[in-house]
Chains A and B, each alone.
Chain A
Amino acid sequence: MIVAEQKPLEEIEGLIAEARKVLVVGCGTCVTVCFAGGEKESGILASCLRMASKIDGAAKDVTHITIQRQCEWEYIDAIAEQIGEAQVVLSLGCGVGVQALAERYPQAWVVPGLNTAFMGLPTEQGVWEERCAACGSCILGLTGGICPIARCAKQLLNGPCGGSQDGECEIGRGTPCAWQLIYDRLKAQDRLHLLLEIQPAKNWSSSRDGGPRKITREDLRLAAETSE
């Protein structure tokens, strides 16, 4: 899932400073599950912004609404009225959601309330870790299901480097060495021979390096849209 966290309150207040009427838009999918921008978080943020602005001497009218997903037009279309009434729209969706709102409502001024961080999972309640870097050409079949692009600080394909110690990456912070994990996994499955092959230089053009990406499925497109 996409994992994000709320921006510091002061930064958010800076982004809505010019507005007297603010709409906070929450999202019911990824950011709900990582407790950053769901219904509850939107409600709390709206309440805080009302109180803070009142104490500051210039009370703002802050309301909130949460839609199932901010990344699909059908859900976004349903809140056109509320968007129209606001001076600033504070989106608590991930970066995709913020942009979708802005694209659907170009006259609205949409600002982000979250910092979208990575694709990952909760390894335990309250802890989320990065797992996928969306490189566009998945090699998990060679590494026992552990991704060296997302989890190795140097994105090595023939790791580990010399800084790996006691299973920890040289950057510290409790980061496990991805190649130690891969080594252990392959050893346990008697597949260490996979590591003897020299992995050639990666084709990064399928990754973000190649430019913004797009996938089209002609078999799924609707007739009206394909006739452009």
Chain B
Amino acid sequence: MGDTHNNGFHSGSRLERLLRAGHFAVTAELGPPQNADGETIRKKAQLLRGNADAVNITDNQTAIVRMSSIGAGTIVVQEGLEPIIQMTCRDRNRLAMQSDLLGAYALGMRNVLCLTGDHQSFGNHPTAKNVHDLDSLQLVQMVAGMRDQRQFQCGDEIKGVEPRFFVGAAANPFGDPFEWRPLRLAKKVKAGASFIQTQLIYNVPRFAEFMEKVRELGVHKQVYILAGIGPLKSPGMAKYMRDEVPGLDLPTEFVDRMTLAAEGIDKEDKKARAAAWRQEGIKIAVELIQQVRQIEGVAGVHVMAIEWEEAVRPIVEGAGLLPRPEPAPLPSESAAPGAT
């Protein structure tokens, strides 16, 4: 892996250390529940521990209210797994964002992914006010500024412990305008992003095109790009993603593969059909990981097994990425600050 920042670790997080050491990183997603039950987080953490280097905790994904990313992140830290908290611009203004980040750092979180956020009309509270005080680039700038300049967004100095996060952003190689996306990625890096997680990739050739442009700009050497890979659960899910999700490019061949997977199984045997579909979904995910690994500039994968955390292990294992490496301890580490 190429050089990034020469002035030491930003946050000392496990994810950062593994990426800096040149390992092909694996992150996964942990979806918080639509209720106040912490047990769900503990169960999911158990499924993911040892199978990923760090786990994203979504922030009111698709504008549906769920347990907060930071709240769930606290439990994840307790369970010995490293969280990547997600923060969207849709629900919070800059005061709430900075306040939440101070708390998150104090509670042991070290990675943050800065997102715009899906429009609230998609979710279960379409009548809410939509905030968007900042956009995702300004959020990246702000979080990096709190760390590097030890300043709040208004310019005031942070007296005392400043939050030192490993800052990430999202990239959609398939959004429009297509030719602009690598430049927008460069903009996020310029703003201070250290790692990128992409939208789900199914169209590998098109992603390769995107990465070529990224390499031309030299951006792959300035930021760690993790390719988003997610297992399909059914032909229905594949069709939905192909037709209804803006910014997602799912070639029809995957719809066909999923449909074929249940061929020969009795239509009434729902259990067997579901099992066959899931098996194929995992198989496809493993293939996709193997393919994107070949692309220069891809530093890891981000496995998005939506509400199917059980699939992460077989996928990561099938792709030959287990066991996950242990990062070398930090030079000053005796009792490590924050995440293990």
* CB-based contact B177/A201 at 8 Å: no
Q: Tell me if A28 counts as interface (CB < 8 A to partner B).
A: no
A133 to chain B, nearest CB (A): 12
* CB-based contact A162/B177 at 8 Å: no
Interface string of A124-165 (1 = CB under 8 A from B): 000000000000000000000000000001111111111111
Q: Tell me the chain A residues, 162-191 only, with Cβ under 8 Å from chain B.
A: 162-168, 170-171, 177, 180, 183-184
Give the number of A-B contacts (CB < 8 Å): 93
* CB-based contact A198/B175 at 8 Å: no
* CB-based contact B183/A201 at 8 Å: no
Q: Tell me if A210 counts as interface (CB < 8 A to partner B).
A: no
Q: How far is A159 from B130 in the complex, measured between Cα atoms in Å? A: 16
Q: Tell me if B191 counts as interface (CB < 8 A to partner A).
A: yes
Q: Tell me if B89 counts as interface (CB < 8 A to partner A).
A: yes
* CB-based contact B183/A196 at 8 Å: yes
A155-B132, A201-B94 known; A163+B177 contact, CB < 8 A:
no
22 contacts between A and B (CB under 8 A): A154-B119, A157-B135, A158-B136, A161-B175, A162-B171, A162-B172, A162-B247, A163-B246, A164-B175, A165-B176, A165-B246, A167-B176, A170-B246, A170-B247, A180-B177, A183-B180, A196-B183, A198-B141, A199-B137, A200-B138, A201-B142, A202-B133
* CB-based contact A159/B175 at 8 Å: no
The 4 closest A-B pairs by CB, nearest first: A162-B172, A158-B137, A161-B116, A165-B246
Extra pairs beyond A154-B135, A161-B116, A170-B118 (5, CB < 8 Å): A158-B187, A161-B135, A164-B247, A166-B176, A198-B141
Q: Tell me if A73 counts as interface (CB < 8 A to partner B).
A: no
Q: Tell me if B170 counts as interface (CB < 8 A to partner A).
A: yes
Q: Tell me if A204 counts as interface (CB < 8 A to partner B).
A: yes
- Contact partner of B138 (CB less than 8 A), chosen from A158, A163, A168, A196, is A158
* CB-based contact A162/B180 at 8 Å: no
* CB-based contact A156/B246 at 8 Å: no
Q: Tell me if B134 counts as interface (CB < 8 A to partner A).
A: yes
Contacts of B122 in A (CB 8 A): 170
* CB-based contact B119/A171 at 8 Å: yes
Contacts of A204 in B (CB 8 A): 133
* CB-based contact B247/A163 at 8 Å: yes
* CB-based contact A156/B132 at 8 Å: yes
Please give me the residue from chain B that is nearest to A158 by CB atom: B137
Q: Tell me if B153 counts as interface (CB < 8 A to partner A).
A: yes
* CB-based contact B247/A159 at 8 Å: no
Q: How far is A165 from B199 in the complex, measured between Cα atoms in Å? A: 14
Contacts of B142 in A (CB 8 A): 201
Query: Interface on B for A, CB 8 Å cutoff?
Result: 89-90, 94, 116-119, 121-122, 130, 132-138, 141-142, 153, 170-172, 175-177, 180, 183-184, 187, 190-191, 199, 246-247
Contacts of B121 in A (CB 8 A): 171
A187 to chain B, nearest CB (A): 8
Contacts of B172 in A (CB 8 A): 162
A186 to chain B, nearest CB (A): 10
A139 to chain B, nearest CB (A): 13
Q: How far is A177 from B117 in the complex, measured between Cα atoms in Å? A: 16
Q: How far is A167 from B199 in the complex, measured between Cα atoms in Å? A: 18
Contacts of B180 in A (CB 8 A): 160, 183, 195
- Contact partner of B175 (CB less than 8 A), chosen from A157, A163, A199, A202, is A163
Q: How far is A177 from B247 in the complex, measured between Cα atoms in Å? A: 12
A154-B130, A158-B187, A198-B190 known; A163+B137 contact, CB < 8 A:
no
B183 to chain A, nearest CB (A): 7
- Contact partner of A196 (CB less than 8 A), chosen from B153, B177, B187, is B187
* CB-based contact A183/B138 at 8 Å: no
* CB-based contact A170/B135 at 8 Å: no
Q: How far is A171 from B187 in the complex, measured between Cα atoms in Å? A: 25
* CB-based contact A160/B90 at 8 Å: no
A24 to chain B, nearest CB (A): 31
* CB-based contact B133/A201 at 8 Å: yes
Q: How far is A51 from B142 in the complex, measured between Cα atoms in Å? A: 61
Contacts of A177 in B (CB 8 A): 176
Please give me the residue from chain A that is nearest to B180 by CB atom: A183
Most buried by B among A163, A168, A170, A184: A163
Q: How far is A166 from B138 in the complex, measured between Cα atoms in Å? A: 25
* CB-based contact B176/A198 at 8 Å: no
Q: How far is A113 from B51 in the complex, measured between Cα atoms in Å? A: 61
A88 to chain B, nearest CB (A): 29
B141 to chain A, nearest CB (A): 7
Contacts of B132 in A (CB 8 A): 154-156
Contacts of A196 in B (CB 8 A): 183, 187
B197 to chain A, nearest CB (A): 11
Please give me the residue from chain B that is nearest to A204 by CB atom: B133
Q: How far is A201 from B151 in the complex, measured between Cα atoms in Å? A: 15
Contacts of A167 in B (CB 8 A): 176
